[in-house]
Structure 1
Amino acid sequence: MSLRLGTFNIENLMTRFDFSGWRNRLRQDRVLQLYDVQDKAVYQQLEQARMIAETDDTRQLSALAIAEADADILCLQEVDNMPALQAFEYGYLYRMVGNGYRQKYLVEGNDGRGIDVAVLLREETRGGERIEVVDVRSHAMLTYQDLDLFNEELALSNRPYDKIFKRDCLELELKIGSKPLLLYVVHFKSMGNAREGTDGRTGTMAIRMAEARAVRRIVERRFGEGQTADRNFAICGDMNDYQEKVQVIGNRREGYRFEPRREEKSALDVFSDDAFVVNPVTRRDVMDRWTLYHARGPEEQHLCQLDYIWLSPALAAHNAGSVPEIIRGGQPYRTIFPPVQEVERFPRIGWDRPKASDHCPVVMSLEIA
């Protein structure tokens, strides 16, 4: 029986207005900085109008990206709350796709901005198999000491009783037809900003590594250590780390060249070093695995995979011929594509906004044995 499984960081699917730019100019949107606004009430009215206008375009594009992915089960990151998810699914996704996701799951997690992981599920797969949710578990309350994960690196910025997951590890026990599938949805710690002589990725590596170890412990507790290889499970989400990247070198006037580079260390090595799980995106060409374009000026540009569908060895072996799709039509025009990878962008895509998200959805077809 065939199932399409996808993951997408939808980027700030919010129900709240952020007025912090009134006091902190660094948080003020660039368009409002063009105007001399002296009154707080006026500023708030302008910010509301700006956000409402921008959001409609953005969510149409998000819905188009999800429609193109056409997943039976879609894992989402950066969702504000259930009302936001319901409003988006009905007002945008259902209207554009014509076949909605009636099953929705979200548990409030630990993120300071209030963004959570969520899952949308159809009632049936495209092939007519019933998708049944047997159980849903949040692991947001787990601490480092609960799983004996605290170490010297973590001690630099954390305490033993701090929560491991910066959002959550949401676990869904599913039945696809009569076949079992365990799904784990995560959104790991962001790479943050450079500080104290280290880059943001290195400075936050220990936290993501602990999150990855925690996910692995949760799976091993579920099935038994050493008993996971022949089980059906997948770990999906934005993991905010990469094991390789494509360095983008050059500029628009002189042209670009693209160089793939392997990272010496990644939090995701916890998953891959002993083949605990398999990243099927590596079945794509090394230049064509990216889900996000990162740029901090012309001297720091790269393409990398932050969004993953990790498969258990059994699930990967049973689907050895299946290659994940990466939906890039919602990327803004500022994203630099390697040769022959350019795609037709969705209508109304802008230079850097509006866009579907800064991330690309990843989706693949799976046979569940």
Structure 2
Amino acid sequence: MSLRIATFNVENLMTRFDFTGFRNQLRQDRVIKLFEVRSEGVYQQLEQARVIASTDDTRQMTALAIADADADILCLQEIDNMEALQAFEYGYLFRMVGTGYRQKYLVEGNDSRGIDVAVLMREETRDGQKIELKEIKSHAMTTYRDLGLFDENLAATSHIDDKIFKRDCLELDLLVGGLPMTLYVVHFKSMGSPRDGLDGRRYTMPVRRAEARAVRRIIEDRFGAGHTAGKRFVICGDMNDYQERVDVIGARRAGYTFDHQVESESALDVFSHDGFSENVVRRRDPLDRWTLYHARGPEEQWLCQLDYIWLSPALAKANAGRLPEIVRNGQPYRTVFPPGQEVERYPRTGWDRPKASDHCPVVMTLDLI
């Protein structure tokens, strides 16, 4: 019996317009900056037109990427609310996959912009095995004090009674063909901008490390510390950190070289350092593990993995011969692909936008035994 599971940050599936760019230039879209707009009313009209015009292409590509992942269970990040998810599923995804995802789950979390994690599930796997939700639990209200995770590294940016998860850790107890499996869906703290002499990743790493420690603690409290290896659990989501990256060196005209770098420190070491779980994407070639292209001009560009499927030791062992897939057809043309990885882009893909998302879906077929 097999189950196909995927994770995908769909990038701002929103139902709201953001008009703050009229007064805050940092939040104003670059195309609006090409024009002199003195009236806030005119600005709002232009912004509405811009968003509506671009969103249709974007969401068609998002739906195509999800259709290509072809998962039985789909873990999503950056969903505005259930209404947005239902509108997208009915208006776009249904046209690609039909009435596939009848089970939809979302709990409002902590993000200041209102973006949440969500799960879409088929009623049955491709093998015809029933997928049942037994229980769903949000951990959005859990604080550092609750789990005893506050330390001096957090003191510079947080308080002991702050909520650990900047969005949520959504816990779903499932039965798949009668077999139990527990799914954890997360979206960790973003890296942000440099501060206090540190780059954004280093500055925010204590928060992400605490989130990872909290996920592990939740699992260990659930199954018993030292007794998790034989359980079926999966941790999915955008974790906004990486343990390695591929530096992209060069420019379009001169050509590119690719340099694989292993990071000395990552918040995700919490999951991997002692075999607690396996990042199955690391089964792929080192240059072929990326799910996001980062660039701030030719001097700063790299490929890295931000999107993860972590398997419990039992599931990893049962699926030792399987490889995860990464759907990159929705990436914009500015993304630099290492040799041999080029894909056919979706129709109407742009240089920078429209695109399916800045992230790529990660999907894997699991044998449940």
Q: What's the TM-score, normalizing by structure 1?
A: 0.99
Q: Name the CA distance, whole Å, in 2 between partners of 1:267 and 1:348.
A: 37
1:241 aligns to 2:241 (yes or no): yes
Please say if residues 90 and 100 of structure 1, whose CA atoms lie closer than 8 Å, have aligned partners that are also in contact: no
Cα displacement string for residues 84-110 of structure 1 (whole angstroms, at most 9, x for unaligned residues): 000001110011222331100000000
Q: Name the CA distance, whole Å, in 2 between partners of 1:353 and 1:207.
A: 31
Match of 1:270 in 2: 270
1:249: how far off? 0.6
Aligned with 1:128: secondary structure?
A: coil
1:189 aligns to 2:184 (yes or no): no
Aligned with 2:55: secondary structure?
A: helix
1:42: how far off? 1.2
Residue identity matched to 2:301: Q
1:31: how far off? 1.2
Residue identity matched to 1:315: L
Aligned with 1:333: secondary structure?
A: coil
Match of 2:71 in 1: 71
Match of 1:164 in 2: 164
Cα displacement string for residues 281-331 of structure 1 (whole angstroms, at most 9, x for unaligned residues): 111101100000001121111100000000000000000111000000000
Match of 2:125 in 1: 125
Aligned with 2:145: secondary structure?
A: coil
1:50: how far off? 0.7
Percent same amino acid at aligned positions? 72
Pairs aligned (count)? 369
Q: Name the CA distance, whole Å, in 1 between partners of 2:196 and 2:296.
A: 19
Residue identity matched to 1:143: T
Q: Name the CA distance, whole Å, in 2 between partners of 1:59 and 1:129.
A: 30
Map 1:219-298 onto structure 2 (within 5 A). Answer: 219-298=219-298
Match of 2:32 in 1: 32
Match of 2:366 in 1: 366
Q: Name the CA distance, whole Å, in 2 between partners of 1:111 and 1:96.
A: 30
Q: Name the CA distance, whole Å, in 2 between partners of 1:57 and 1:356.
A: 8
Aligned with 2:278: secondary structure?
A: coil
1:11 aligns to 2:11 (yes or no): yes
Cα displacement string for residues 215-262 of structure 1 (whole angstroms, at most 9, x for unaligned residues): 000000110000000000000000000000001011111111001000
Q: What's the TM-score, normalizing by structure 2?
A: 0.99
Aligned with 1:267: secondary structure?
A: coil
Match of 1:84 in 2: 84
Match of 1:306 in 2: 306
Unaligned runs of 5+ in 1: none
Match of 2:316 in 1: 316
Residue identity matched to 1:332: P
Match of 2:47 in 1: 47
Please say if residues 241 and 266 of structure 1, whose CA atoms lie closer than 8 Å, have aligned partners that are also in contact: yes
Unaligned runs of 5+ in 2: none
Residue identity matched to 1:289: R
Q: Name the CA distance, whole Å, in 2 between partners of 1:274 and 1:176.
A: 28
Match of 2:59 in 1: 59
Match of 1:144 in 2: 144
Q: Name the CA distance, whole Å, in 2 between partners of 1:300 and 1:116.
A: 30
Q: Name the CA distance, whole Å, in 2 between partners of 1:282 and 1:300.
A: 24
Please say if residues 250 and 256 of structure 1, whose CA atoms lie closer than 8 Å, have aligned partners that are also in contact: yes
1:2: how far off? 0.6
Q: Name the CA distance, whole Å, in 2 between partners of 1:240 and 1:213.
A: 15
Q: Name the CA distance, whole Å, in 1 between partners of 2:243 and 2:99.
A: 36
Shifted more, 92-101 versus 2-11: the winner is 92-101
1:135: how far off? 0.3
Please say if residues 89 and 100 of structure 1, whose CA atoms lie closer than 8 Å, have aligned partners that are also in contact: no
Aligned with 2:87: secondary structure?
A: helix
